[in-house]
Amino acid sequence: MHLIFFQFTFVLYLLGVGLATTYIFLPRDAVGKAGVWVLGAGFVVHTVTLVTRTQAAGHTPVVNLHESLSFFAWAVMAAYMVFHRRYHAPILGAFVSPLVLILILYASACPQEIVPLQPALKSFWLPIHTGVAFLANGFLSIAFCVGIMYLIQENRIKKKKIGKLHKLLPSLDVLDDISYRSLKIGFPLLTIGIITGAVWASSAWGSYWSWDPKETWSLITWLLYAALLHQRLTVGWRGRRAAIMTVAGFIAIIFTFLGVNLLLIGLHGYT
């Protein structure tokens, strides 16, 4: 049943991306609202997908690449829903939904069978650590998407290209505010994710920190976002520099999530 729900999720997200993209070229309220509603429906079905897979597997569905990509996509969409409710900017979906669809496409290409839980993963820390970590990635992904929007908007203003896209995109101040709020949620979650991972590692492997590639790159990612927030709070980093840093931070997130697992050998890995 969870595989059927996953396919339904894919279809809804695909349709949502189409509507969200169409809104850029046909900026009518009906198109924007339809895109948001379809993406919302996709998120609901995606939630059902994860719940039914959890019931079928008997554990949180994050133990192989298919499950983790799907959970990542769900976390990004959850964060998007939070910010859409606050800012009501349909154009945001045109930048967030393609990322979600890419993750779902990648997940659909991976083996989808349920795999047995490894002994080290049989812990109550599994849903806590992974849930918090993926939600952190979700909110920080919103900061990345908004950072791209900021750079596009700033570039159009500098070149005095006051066209349709410029009018659809929120102001630079609003985009910077969304980015900052995303960081204020995502960074504490990332911190909690690293701490709970260390506590779990101590009980599973006898050491809080072993400089495993995943741990090392998680720390690098944390330091990037810590530096960004520090600069924002102490020297007033805003705008372009902050947007570029959110892009760099997202690249670190993707490498920590996929690059480490696929290119490096360590205790953390997906099949």
| Cβ 225 vs Cβ 183: under 8 Å | yes
93: in domain: yes
Pair 128, 105 in one domain:
no
Q: What is the pLDDT of residue 43?
A: 97
117: in domain: no
Pair 223, 107 in one domain:
no
Pair 212, 158 in one domain:
yes
Pair 244, 153 in one domain:
yes
Q: What is the pLDDT of residue 98?
A: 96
Pair 180, 260 in one domain:
yes
Pair 166, 214 in one domain:
yes
| Cβ 90 vs Cβ 33: under 8 Å | yes
Pair 259, 139 in one domain:
yes
Q: What is the pLDDT of residue 55?
A: 93
Q: How far apart are CA 259 and CA 64, in angstroms?
A: 15
Q: What is the pLDDT of residue 180?
A: 93
94: in domain: yes
Q: What is the pLDDT of residue 40?
A: 96
Pair 142, 262 in one domain:
yes
Q: φ, ψ for residue 28 (rounded to 5)?
A: -110, 145
Concatenating the DSSP letter of every residue in 66-77 gives HHHHHHHHHHHH
Structural domain span for residue 100: 1-112
Pair 93, 167 in one domain:
no
Q: What is the pLDDT of residue 270?
A: 53
The count of structural domains within the chain is 2
Q: Mind listing the pLDDT tens digit of every residue in the chain (271 residues)?
A: 888 999 999 999 999 999 999 999 988 999 999 999 999 999 999 999 999 999 998 889 998 999 999 999 999 999 999 999 898 888 999 999 999 999 999 999 999 988 888 877 788 889 999 999 999 999 999 999 999 999 999 988 888 777 778 788 899 999 999 999 999 999 999 999 999 988 888 886 777 777 788 888 999 999 999 999 988 888 777 888 899 999 999 999 999 998 777 765 555 555 5
Pair 205, 104 in one domain:
no
